[in-house]
Structure 1
C-alpha cells in the first residue's frame, strides 16, 4: 500500500502526465468560455458520459459477473483432485491470478481497439458457465485436473485483458475534459459487476 501511495504521487511528475494535465486544463478552459458549468450542465454532462460509455460498462459488468460467479467459490469448493488434494484449489487460484496479471499486462503489447469485438468477447465469456458446469457433471475427462486448470487460466487471462481494454477504451470515447468522469463511471460499472457476480456465486453453493 505504501508503494502504491508513493507511485501515485510520483505519477504526476511523468512527462506524459504533465502533457495530459495541460491538455485537460486547456480543454476545460475552452469549455468554460462557452458558459459557466452550473449544476444542471454538470448533471447533463455526467449522463451524456454514461450514455456514451454504457456498452463498455455493460461489458465490464458481464466480465465480473462471470468471473466472480466462478472464482474463487467454484474453484475452491466444487472441484477436487485425488492427486493434488488440498493443493489443487491453491494451484487453481495461483493460475488464475498469474494469468490475470498477464492479461492486464498484455495491453502494453497489443491493445484491441475494436469496441464491438471487445464487448462481444465479454459476452462470449458467458460460455464459461456451461464449460465449468461440464467440469462438474460432464464426461469423465472434463472432470480431471487438466481441463479445469486450462479453463481457469483462460478465465484469468480474459478477465485481466478485457478489463484493461475496456478501461482504456471507455475514456477515449468522450472529450478529453470528461475522460476522468468516464473512468469513474467505468469503475462504478465494475463495482456493480463485482456485486452481481458475488451474489450469483452463491448458486454454485445452492
Structure 2
C-alpha cells in the first residue's frame, strides 16, 4: 500500500468464493485487491477517516429519495392545488390530493422498500455487492431525473396523470434504494460499530440537508417550482457523487481488508454456513424493537404532522404561511433524530434487549399527542395542543427517541451474533425496519381520516 492508501495492483490473485454472503469476493480480489491485503498480518488503518466519511455519504444518499420528496411539501401543495377559476390562489382550503398525497407517498415508498429488501435478503447473493450498489444508484438517478424534469412542466390540466406518474417513479427509485440500503448495511456490518453508526447517522443527516435546502429556498422567496428544482438537483448530485465514491472504495486497503476478512476475523468465517433460524433466535427482540420504532413513527410522521399548522395568532405571517412546516416538521424533526443517533453512538444504553423493546413500544404515546396538535383539516378530534411550543416539544422528544433507539438496535443487533452472521442479522433488521415503515404508512392513512 502506498502513502495515499491505494492498492498496489502489480501482484493480484483470485481466491475461491464459497459463501454466498461474500459473493463478490472473487470479483473484488481480481479487480482491486493485492496479495498484500490478503496475507498481511497487520490490519490496515482508515487513513484520514476516508472510509468512515464515505460511509456517512452513503448513509445520506440511501434516503435521498425519501428525504427530498417528502420535504418538498410546498411543491406538492402547489402541484395539487385547486385550479378551478374561482380558486387560483395557493393558500386555500386543502384539496383531497393535498391532504392525502403525503399518505400515498408513504405507501409508495414503504411497500416497494419492503419487497425489495426481502428480495435482496434472499436473492442478493446472485448478484455481486458491487453491481447491486452501483446499479441501484444508477436507477435512483434516472428515476429522480424524471421527477426533476416534471417540475417545470405545467400539470394543472392533468393532475391525476401527474399523480400516477409521480408515484410510479417513486416506486421505482424506492425499490432501487432498498437494494442499495440492504447491501450497504450488510457491508457496514463487517466493520466496527463506528461505521454502522456512520451509515445510520448519515441517513438522518440527509433529512437535515433536505430541510435546510428547502428553508433557504423559501427564505429567498423562490417559487415552489424553482425551489423544488434546486433541491431535486442537489439530490441528483449527491447520488452521482456516491456512485463515484463507491468506485473509489475499491482502491483503499482498509475497505478491501474488511470485505475479505469480515472485520478482521479469520478467513474461515467466510465459509461457515449461516442459519437464518439461528440468527432470528438471537436477534428477534431487536427485530421487534426496530419494527415498533418505525411503525409508530411512520403512523404520524409525516402524514399527520405535515398537516399541523401554526397557532391561529400567527395567521398571515411568513412563519405561518411559509416556514412553519419546513422548520418544525422537517428541520426540527431531523435534527432531533440526528441528535438521538449521535448520543446513542456514545452511550449504547439500554443494553438489555427487553428494556429496549419496552422503550420502543412506549413511544406510542406520541401518536395521540401529535394527533391532538393543530392538524388541519379535521372533523372528529379536538385540538388540545394549540400552541407552537407544545407541538415543538412533542416533536423533539418523538424525533430524539426515534434516532436514539434506532442506532442502539442497529449496532447492538450485530454484536449479539457471531462474526459470520453479522451480514444476515443486518439484513433481518433492515427488513423489519421496512415492515415497520409499511405498517406505519398504512396506519397513517387511517389516522389522517380520523382527525
Please state which band the TM-score falls in when normalised by the shorter chain: 0.7 to 0.9
Q: Aligned pair count?
A: 192
2:345 maps to 108
Pair 1:7–1:164, CA change in 2 (3 A):
farther
CA distance in 1, matches of 2:263, 2:248: 14
Q: Does residue 47 in structure 1 map to residue 277 in structure 2? A: yes
Answer yes or no: is 1:119 the counterpart of 2:362. no
Is 2:286 aligned against 1:56?
Answer: yes
Q: Is this contact kept in 1: 2:341–2:406, CA < 8 A?
A: yes
Asked if 2 retains the 8 angstrom alpha-carbon contact of 1:24 and 1:177, the reply is no
Answer with 150-159 or 107-116: which moved more: 107-116
Q: CA deviation at 1:190?
A: 0.4
The correspondence for 2:268, drawn from 26, 43, 47, is: 26
Paired with 2:390 and 2:307, the residues of 1 have a C-alpha distance of 17
Unaligned runs of 5+ in 2: 1-238, 375-381
Following the alignment from structure 1 to structure 2, what is the Cα–Cα distance between the partners of residues 109 and 64? Answer: 22
Structure 1, 188-197 or 106-115: larger mean CA deviation? 106-115
> Are residues 48 and 99 of structure 1, via their aligned partners in 2, closer, same or farther at CA, if it must alter by over 3 Å?
same
Shift of 1:77: 1.2
Which residue does 1:162 correspond to in 2?
Answer: 405
Quick one: structure 1 residues 71 and 27, their matched pair in 2 at CA, closer, same or farther if it must change by over 3 Å? same
- Structure 1 residues 125, 105: CA separation in 2 closer, same or farther (over 3 Å shift)? same
What is aligned with 1:88? 324
Deviation at 1:138, TM superposition (A): 5.3
- For normalisation by structure 1, the TM-score amounts to 0.82
User: What are the Cα deviations for residues 123-169 of structure 1, in whole angstroms up to 9, with x where unaligned?
Assistant: 11011123223335354xx2211111111111111111111110111
More helix by share: 1
RMSD of equivalent CA atoms: 2.5
Hey, what's the Cα distance between the residues in 1 that align with 2:280 and 2:331? 35
Query: Which one of the candidate residues 166, 184, 188 is aligned to 2:427?
Result: 184
> Counterparts of 2:342 and 2:248 in 1: how far apart (Å)?
22
Whether 1:10 and 2:249 are equivalent positions in the alignment is yes
Q: Which has the higher contact order (CA 8 A, sep 6+)?
A: 1
Does structure 2 retain, via aligned residues, the 8 Å contact 1:24–1:176? no
Q: Does 1:173 align with 2:416?
A: yes
Q: Does 1:143 align with 2:348?
A: no
**TM-score with structure 2 length normalisation?**
0.39
Give the secondary-structure state (helix, strand or coil) at the position aligned to 1:143: coil
Distance in 1, Cα, partners of 2:247 & 2:352:
30
Cα distance, 1:88 vs structure 2: 1.6
62-71 or 76-85: which moved more? 76-85
Which of the residues 198, 203, 206 maps onto 2:441? 198
Q: What is the rounded CA distance, in whole Å, between the counterparts of 1:97 and 1:111 in structure 2?
A: 20
Q: Who is 1:34 aligned against?
A: none
Determine if contact 2:289/2:360 at 8 Å carries over to the other structure. yes
Deviation at 1:91, TM superposition (A): 1.6
Contact kept? 2:308, 2:325, Cα under 8 Å: no
Runs of 4+ off more than 6 Å = none
